[in-house]
A and B are shown apart, each in its own frame.
Chain A
Amino acid sequence: DAGVIQSPRHEVTEMGQEVTLRCKPISGHNSLFWYRQTMMRGLELLIYFNNNVPIDDSGMPEDRFSAKMPNASFSTLKIQPSEPRDSAVYFCASSQDSSNEKLFFGSGTQLSVL
């Protein structure tokens, strides 16, 4: 398996623009997570899906952020409108079952909002 695949690898956009980050989890994994990593705050959990259903989105910073998982092989994280403080590395991770005893991370999307 190719592992967790994220796109784009890098995204540079201007404040106010919409940004969509994409993730393909490992086939057969039924839990998916979106994390954000910054120097100041470290790795923060944004949202957790199990069997394509959002279970906990308490980490989503505000209404500008939304996430979807229309099927078992695809998820998106959207920021609209984007702001400079959203600049971070966004990671998607998946795990085989709901025990989540081992997460597999993608390589991340480096987002820069100017």
Chain B
Amino acid sequence: SQKIEQNSEALNIQEGKTATLTCNYTNYSPAYLQWYRQDPGRGPVFLLLIRENEKEKRKERLKVTFDTTLKQSLFHITASQPADSATYLCALDRSGAGNMLTFGGGTRLMVKP
């Protein structure tokens, strides 16, 4: 069966350090992978999309890697700030047709000052 796994345990890091979150998947052949941020009481907010033929993508302090051989994506936040504290979700297209996203369970990040 298709599965998307993110570390369900919260990640606690010190301000200024790099946070690294992991997303592993099985039985998917995604054309792309997406990362979202969710704050308490709010809906997820899109952050980044990386395609299968892209190894790495950057946006300001964010960096995403995508290894289709390992079936894994890594999400990095450099120079982390307390305002980065949130839950981060990865998402894959379930159908392969690019139209139905399935989300992982999310990893909660806590950045301490």
A19 at the binding interface (Cβ < 8 Å): no
**Could you give, for residues 60-103 of chain B, a 1 whenever the CB lies within 8 Å of some chain A CB and a 0 otherwise?**
00000000000000000000000000000100011100111111
Q: Give the distance in Å from the alpha carbon of A93 to the alpha carbon of B101 in the complex.
A: 11
Number of interface residues of A (CB under 8 A): 24
Residues in B with CB closer than 8 Å to A106 are 43
| A31-B99 contact in complex given A101-B49, A105-B43, C-beta closer than 8 Å | yes
B43 to A, closest residue via Cβ: A105
Task: Evaluate contact between A48 and B100: CB separation under 8 angstroms.
Answer: yes
* Residue A103 at the chain B interface, CB threshold 8 Å: yes
Chain A residues positioned under 8 Å from B44 (CB to CB): 43, 91, 103, 105
B32 at the binding interface (Cβ < 8 Å): yes
A100 in contact with B106 given A107-B42, A108-B43 (CB within 8 Å): no
| Bound form: Cα–Cα A56–B95 in Å | 10
On whether A98 and B49 interact (CB within 8 A), knowing A42-B104, A107-B42, A108-B43, the answer reads no
B103 near A42: Cβ-Cβ < 8 Å = yes
Check B99 against A42 for contact (C-beta < 8 Å): no
Considering the chains assembled together, what is the distance between the CA atoms of A91 and B95 in angstroms? 20
The answer, yes or no, to whether B10 is at the interface (CB within 8 Å) is no
A99 within 8 A of B: yes
Contact A98 B89 (CB under 8 A): no
Using a CB–CB distance below 8 Å, which chain A residues touch chain B? 4, 31, 33, 35, 42-43, 45, 48, 50, 55-56, 91, 93, 98-108
* Interface pairs A-B: 10 shortest CB-CB: A105-B43, A43-B103, A42-B105, A102-B46, A100-B99, A99-B98, A105-B44, A91-B43, A108-B43, A106-B43
Q: List 21 A-B contacts (CB under 8 A).
A: A31-B99, A42-B103, A42-B104, A42-B105, A42-B106, A43-B44, A43-B89, A43-B103, A45-B101, A48-B100, A50-B99, A56-B95, A91-B44, A98-B98, A100-B93, A100-B98, A101-B32, A101-B49, A101-B98, A103-B44, A105-B44
